[in-house]
Amino acid sequence: MSEFEPLDRKERALHAEAELLDKESAGISRRQDVVEANLQRVADARAILERLSADDPTPCPEPEQEPVEPGADGPEQDDGRAAGREPRSSTARS
């Protein structure tokens, strides 16, 4: 056994630990980047909401909807026949 063997073992162990710490540090840096990006998105959203609420302090009114009778498909659609016109065919070209 050489007098350098214990030092060699210790050196290998320290290199292995340093490598492990480098990997952990890189992982932490990636996670920190993601968290900081998310924090920036939240700050941007907050700024937008603050600007919108400062511009128009009144809430938006709900859209009015016409009552629909049971069995009805909704409001009548003008298909062009009401004015004596035939609806345009998708196959007929002028």
What local confidence, expressed as pLDDT, does residue 1 receive?
A: 74
User: What torsion do the CA atoms of 55, 58, 60, 63 make, to the nearest 10 degrees?
Assistant: -140
Greater pLDDT, 70 or 29: 29
pLDDT digits (tens, 9 = 90+) for 33-72: 999 999 999 999 999 999 998 876 566 667 777 766 766 5
- Element counts in the chain: helices (H) and strands (E): 1, 0
Distances (CA, A) of 24 to 35, 38, 83: 16, 21, 75
What is the DSSP secondary structure assignment for residue 78, as one 8-state letter? -
What local confidence, expressed as pLDDT, does residue 64 receive?
A: 77
What's the CA gap between 45 and 39, in Å, rounded?
Answer: 10
